[in-house]
């Protein structure tokens, strides 16, 4: 894991290097510590660290961007990007304000609105100080070079894993270890990315466990 000392030291050194007084540098280091604390309890890492959704988060590339994209019906497939300060593939060129704004409003510096998997509706409640604290902490992370795929539109084919909600009759359990690879499905099943948006909707209303009378789920 990331050591506690590194961000403190780094932010103080950065502060002093940029001509801040020691108390400014201490304020900067408090900001970074607050950000580190917030990121440790808000699960940014679940979505933004590679390997996390595959069961093996790669903490050497902490918050370095996910290889698993979220499928949002009708909108496309979105990969949680690299939050480290790498200039080419991460947030290296974003200011603290731009990062804080993206976290709390979902609007990127280029004006694009972030897709719903990024929990902006909750993060909207962060105070400006806390949002800037998170941004300041992200700036102290070791830069990771990793460009996440996408985003992909609803009709585009994603190039890496996709996180998708499936109804039970579409779910295929993994074969036991050592068994031959499964035969491809007989019917021409469309690939995950091109599943029409409507098909995903019933997922949320299916209650498979007990056999209640087959009344259609009441439409809300």
119-129 in b/e form (b: 16+ CB < 10 A) is ebeebeebeee
User: From CA 15, how far away is CA 85, in angstroms rounded?
Assistant: 17
CB of 199 to ligand HEC, least distance (A): 21
Please choose, from the candidates 132, 139, 36, 9, the residue with its C-alpha nearest in 3D space to the C-alpha of residue 87: 139
Binding site for ligand HEC (CB under 6 A): 39, 42-44, 46-48, 70, 78, 80-81, 83, 99, 102-103, 108, 114-115, 117-119, 134, 151
Kindly give the residue spans of alpha helices, DSSP state H, lying in 106-208. 120-123, 128-139, 197-200
Helices (H) and strands (E) in the chain, counts: 7, 3
Smaller CB separation from ligand HEC, 122 or 189? 122
Identify whether the C-beta of residue 79 lies closer than 8 Å to the C-beta of residue 146. no
Cβ neighbours, 10 Å, residue 199 = 13
Q: Say if residue 217 is exposed, middle or buried (CB neighbours under 10 Å; 0-12, 13-18, 19+).
A: exposed
């Amino acid at each position: 894991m990331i050591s506690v000392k590194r961000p403190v030291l780094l932010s103080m050194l950065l502060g002093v290097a940029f001509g801040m007084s020691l108390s400014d540098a201490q304020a900067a280091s408090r900001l970074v510590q607050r950000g580190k604390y917030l990121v440790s309890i808000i699960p940014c890492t679940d979505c933004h660290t590679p390997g996390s959704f595959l069961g093996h988060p790669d903490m050497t590339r902490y918050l370095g961007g996910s290889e698993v994209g979220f499928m949002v019906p009708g909108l496309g497939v979105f990969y949680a990007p690299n939050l480290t300060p790498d200039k080419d593939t991460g947030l290296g060129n974003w200011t603290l304000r731009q990062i804080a704004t993206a976290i709390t409003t979902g609007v990127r510096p280029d004006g694009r609105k972030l897709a719903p998997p990024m929990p902006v509706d909750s993060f909207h409640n962060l105070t400006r100080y806390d949002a800037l604290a998170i941004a300041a902490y992200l700036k102290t992370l070791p830069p990771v070079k990793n460009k996440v795929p996408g985003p992909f539109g609803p009709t585009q084919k994603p190039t890496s894993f996709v996180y998708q909600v499936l109804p039970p009759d579409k779910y295929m359990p993994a074969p036991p270890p050592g068994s031959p690879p499964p035969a491809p499905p007989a019917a021409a099943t469309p690939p995950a990315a091109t599943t029409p948006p409507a098909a995903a909707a019933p997922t949320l209303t299916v209650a498979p466990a007990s056999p209640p009378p087959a009344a259609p789920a009441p439409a809300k």
